[in-house]
Amino acid sequence: MSDPATSGIPEALATAVRAVDVPHDLRTLFERLAVPLALEVEAPAEDAPPLVLQLLRLAGHGSSLRLVGVRTSAEGPKVRFVHGTRDLVLGTAELADGIPALARRIAQSLLDADETAGALERFVRESPRQDALRRLTRAMLKTNSVDRLRTILLIGMTSGLALGFSRAALFVYDEDGRALVGESAIGPADAAEAVGVTAGLELERRIAEVEATEPRYENFVRTIAVDVTTDPRDEIGQALAASGPLLFSREKPVNPALAALEPPHEFLVAAIRLRDKVLGIVVADDPYGSAPIDPQAREFIGFLLDTAALASENLRLHESVETLARHDELTGLFNRREFESRMADEQSRAQRLGSQCALLLFDVDYLQRVNLARGHKAGDQLLQAVGVLLRSTLRSHDIVARLTGDAFAVLVTDTNHEQVLAIARRVGSLALGMGVSLSAGGSLWPRDNHEMSVLFSEAEAALIDAKRSGRGRAIIDGDEAPMLFEPPGDEDEPVG
């Protein structure tokens, strides 16, 4: 099968052309010229200059350069550009001068005043985009927050830079990976808000503005779920199948979710991909402006989306490592180091709010018997079951950890003595219903001017007393007698 990148090139040169990389500066030169140039080449079969090979590879592939003739020659290389009635011939010396000299010679020899002015305008417009892209890329790869990453992406899309977008919305797959749902958005919710919107790219200032503004448009986007219709004109379906961002010009979108956004007749839709896996969809438009969307915006947005996908993957990998470092491998609960860190945070919060917290320690009774009688795998399964019980019984803001072996800890926040007793009773009762005996000890803070550091020692002392009293019971410091756990009955209610 022939290679379209070397179609029409003699085989003696084709191998070298296939192996060469085209520099970004050279590719950008002929993409931004937007002036059709014909290319004729004479070059030796071996040791052709790199610039000759790069021009041959670039010709006809998304640039303004069109190859009209090429032949091998025993003499030195010669390249001829033709534009209308003008031509430019470069020999060995000129080809060695580099890309900036090539750009100057093309402008001087082939372009008229209007074409030169147009090319210069495009380069001037592109320069701030390239600078913005570098800044946005650095910010995306540097952040350690998925929410901040999404904000940077959407700010980049609505930052002006002649892109023509004032709104951008991000849709990502839900937890089941089946539906695209609205996640983040930046932009005015109506014409009145549009008046006060800034489009600069001072990132930290823009991020602060976004975080301080009531997210009316984002709240609306979060109510939208995206489905792909069977209509081949469906914009979401086309974007999912395309290799890059797509610009649409329609009176009304075919896709119902897009129609709900009420975009103007011009809008952009693009998929965010990582190694052919779709991570989400972005939609950008400007319903309150009159400037047309620059077609070159697609390339800029494409770079932004690729960077966002890479940064998202880096964050996912980092999060996986962090999760392993903070969690117990067997049960998925926090480990002791993370639990103690959270306790310190809770102490600060409790002091600030004047609230009370409590530490409950649970110990699995007779675990060694299970290990000896049924094996360590059965013991591990029992510990996992206790972990699930604690997670499902405690409130979402309570902190649960496996400390070591058969010992578990719970930091109960915003509580009092009666609530702590009710939680201990509920956990111990449900455990008995599973055939598991637990002993528990607890301590509250602040109480009698005790320091937070005494919570562990007091709770451990109470736990030891509970086990010595016969196990299957709880002692909360200050109680005169242990609380014996009983199997659950129909009247038991969940702890709020």
Is residue 326 domain-resident? no
- What is the three-class DSSP state of 14? helix
Name residue 305's amino acid.
L
Of 2, 101, 105, 92, nearest to 50 (Cα)? Answer: 92
Final residue in a domain of this structure, among 111, 141, 172: 111
Measured between alpha carbons, how far is 249 from 444 in angstroms, rounded to an integer?
64
Q: Out of 110-119, 142-151, 172-181, 460-469, which region has the weakest mean confidence (pLDDT)?
A: 172-181
Query: Could you tell me if residue 495 is inside a domain?
Result: no
For residues 187 and 310, state if they share a domain. yes
414 and 293 assigned to the same domain: no
Please check whether residue 10 is in contact with residue 39, taking contact to mean a CB–CB distance below 8 angstroms.
Answer: no
171 and 141, same structural domain? yes
As a whole number, mean pLDDT of residues 437-457 equals 80
* CATH number where 89 lies: 3.40.30
| 193 and 308, same domain (yes or no) | yes
Same domain, 259 and 170: yes
Q: How confident is the model at residue 493, as a pLDDT?
A: 47
| Cα–Cα distance, 296 to 285 (Å, whole number) | 15
Structure tokens at 257: 């979710």
- The reported pLDDT for the residue numbered 409 is 94
- The domain boundary, picked from 273, 294, 321, lies at 321
The answer to whether position 234 is within a domain reads yes
Say whether both 130 and 277 belong to one domain.
yes
**Separation between Cα atoms, residue 312 and residue 272, nearest integer Å:** 10
Query: Distance of alpha carbon 173 from its chain centroid, rounded?
Result: 12
Tokens of 243: 């290799």
The predicted-structure confidence for 44-75, as pLDDT tens digits, reads as follows: 888 888 999 999 988 856 567 888 888 888 88
Q: Which pLDDT belongs to residue 249?
A: 92
Q: How far apart are the first and last CA of the chain?
A: 69
Number of domains in the chain: 3
The dihedrals phi and psi of 78, each to the nearest 5 degrees, come to -145, 130
Q: Are residues 363 and 449 in the same domain?
A: yes
Say whether both 341 and 269 belong to one domain.
no
pLDDT band of residue 496 (cuts 50, 70, 90) is very low
- Domain residues for the domain of 54 are 4-111
Same domain, residue pair 164 and 229: yes
Candidate from 9-18, 164-173, 406-415, 417-426 with smallest mean pLDDT: 9-18
Domain final residue, candidates 288, 321, 354: 321
Q: Looking at residue 308, which CATH number applies to its domain?
A: 3.30.450.40
Cβ count near 391 (within 10 Å): 14
Indicate whether 330 belongs to any domain: no
Q: What is the pLDDT of residues 201-216, one digit of tens each?
A: 677 787 788 777 778 9
pLDDT confidence bin for 200, thresholds 50/70/90: low
Do residues 208 and 306 both lie within one domain?
Answer: yes
In a domain, 409, yes or no: yes
Average pLDDT over residues 19-26: 83
Say if 331 falls within a structural domain: no
Pair 312, 343 in one domain: no
Residue 436, domain CATH: 3.30.70.270
Q: Which of 166-170, 194-198, 256-260, 425-429 has the lowest mean pLDDT?
A: 194-198
Q: Say yes or no: 234 and 160 in one domain.
A: yes
Listed residue (259, 304, 256, 264) closest to 285, CA to CA = 264
Residue 327: inside a domain: no
**Kind and range of the H or E run holding 67:** strand 65-72
- Would the pTM count as exceeding 0.75? no
Q: At what angle do helices 417-433 and 376-393 cross, to 10 degrees?
A: 140
Is residue 329 a part of any domain in this protein? Answer: no
